[in-house]
Amino acid sequence: MTTVEVFAPAKINLTLHVTARLDNGYHTLDSLVAFADIGDRVYLSTQGPAELAVSGPEAVPELSSNTNIMWHAASQFWKPDIRLSMRLEKHLPLASGIGGGSADAAATYRGLLLLRAAAEGHETPRDPTPEDAQKLLRIGADVPMCVLSDPARIRGIGEQITPVPDLFPYAVVLVNPRVQVSTPAVFSALKVTENPSLDPWPDSFEDRDAALDWIAAQRNDLQAPAVADCPAIAEVLDALQQVGGCRLARMSGSGATCFGIFDRVHLAQAAAEAISAENPKWWVRSGRLNGGRHAVPQLIRSTT
């Protein structure tokens, strides 16, 4: 029996510029994304019930259904005649703008590659093949970037991925007010769909203060329509801005999760504790933007 464990880190849109609306209804974006050491865990096995079991603090019954995006990944990248048992340990809130479902699908893909490699006796490829990349994009626009789980500039509908290897792993606090926001509704409420791209790209992100200044000068074009639809987002942003040590507060994706960037981990931890104490019903977590370091699948048991 072979079992694989895969960490599925939360995706954070540090910037999100909506640059155009296509005829098919999709929008093109220009975004800087990073991944936190906060996320879900996916377990895959070649033995056990051929089902998806879901546990964890954010588990809900509908996640176990055959419509879960993890099944879409399995249908594309696993042979139907070989049993596959999946388990999802859910820690990220649903529909929260931090790519939880996409991260789970991406983790499933990475884990399936390792399962296949273990069975066939070869090394696991680091990057998707062009054919796999197209399949991943059809599963979800955020899935290819979540497969890599490293800082990157994302353009187009998510298919243009440029790694940003020198982005500093900032300390971060993630806050969700326990309100789900409809991504289609937020995009529909966006008054201007042809906005400027990111400012000229810096030569280097080695200076973390200069990089943070550059990030702060960018935007999330979806933040205003999301706040109009969900005023609780404004409360979250205010809470982050008021807490000590927060260098930048912004919404991620289409919301409702917001992030705060801090200079030190202990400042982020103290901020998370303070915000949780004032708002005990909110989802609040602290960590670092180094989720890619934890995203490599692990073979946790192999017996014959």
Catalytic residues: 11, 142
What are the backbone dihedrals phi and psi of residue 268, each rounded to the nearest 5 degrees, phi first? -65, -40
Check residue 248 and give left, alpha or beta (phi > 0: left; psi -120 to 50: alpha): beta
Q: How far is CA 13 from CA 44, 50, 157, 280, 282, in A?
A: 28, 35, 14, 25, 20
**226-238 as b/e, with b when 16 or more CB fall inside 10 Å?**
bbebbebbbbbbe
The amino acid that residue 30 corresponds to is D
The vertex-39 CA angle with 37 and 45, nearest 5°, equals 115
- Token pair, residue 7, equals 């960490």
What are the backbone dihedrals phi and psi of residue 128, each rounded to the nearest 5 degrees, phi first? -65, 150
CA distance 283 to 287: 14
User: Are 190 and 255 contacting, i.e. CB atoms less than 8 angstroms apart?
Assistant: no
The vertex-39 CA angle with 35 and 43, nearest 5°, equals 120
Closest CA to 187 of 10, 11, 18: 18
For strand 283-288 and strand 298-302, is the pairing parallel, antiparallel, or unpaired? unpaired
- Token pair, residue 174, equals 């993630």
User: Are 18 and 193 contacting, i.e. CB atoms less than 8 angstroms apart?
Assistant: yes
Closest CA to 254 of 162, 105, 141, 134: 141
What are the backbone dihedrals phi and psi of residue 155, each rounded to the nearest 5 degrees, phi first? -130, 175
